[in-house]
Amino acid sequence: MIGHGAVVMLFALAAGFGLAMSLIGGFEVLPGWIIGFTLPGDAEAWARTHVGGLLNGLLVMVGALVIAHLRPPARTARNLGWMLVGTGYGNTVFYWFGMIAANRALTFGDNRFGPSDWAGVLGLIPALVFAFVSMVAMVMIIRHAWSAGESTA
């Protein structure tokens, strides 16, 4: 799981370069020499992709440590593992496709940000599925933490 969290964070760190290039309008090869170009998405979208990805990578990594600390039954540990890893990757897909989607991948149809398109649908599907999956995972963690006497630790 820690490796999967690192992959999610690698995508987030790459988005940090996209954020910088979006802000300056290109890539600085040498001081003062900028090769100008425009990336899809605005700087705010790149910032969301960068920060959101870092947080999702941390979620997966910390989730691995929490599972190891709580020592749930093997089946529960496996289920929590795929649930949290899926959340990390699902949200990564959401952020990257949401950056280029006219409607920010927030709805299947048109919304106040723009019309629906293929990027919006592809971004929303995994995010929507794993929004519910991650909530179930958190309930499972809460149950195991409290049953293990972790409510005050």
pLDDT per residue as tens digits for the range 19-51: 999 999 999 999 999 999 999 999 999 999 999
Whether the CB-CB separation of 16 and 50 falls below 8 Å is answered with: yes
Residue 95 pLDDT > 90, yes or no?
yes
pLDDT per residue as tens digits for the range 136-153: 999 999 999 998 776 545
Question: What are the helix (H) ranges across the chain?
Answer: 2-24, 43-70, 74-100, 118-147
Residue boundaries of the structural domains of the chain: 2-147
pTM, rounded to two decimals: 0.91
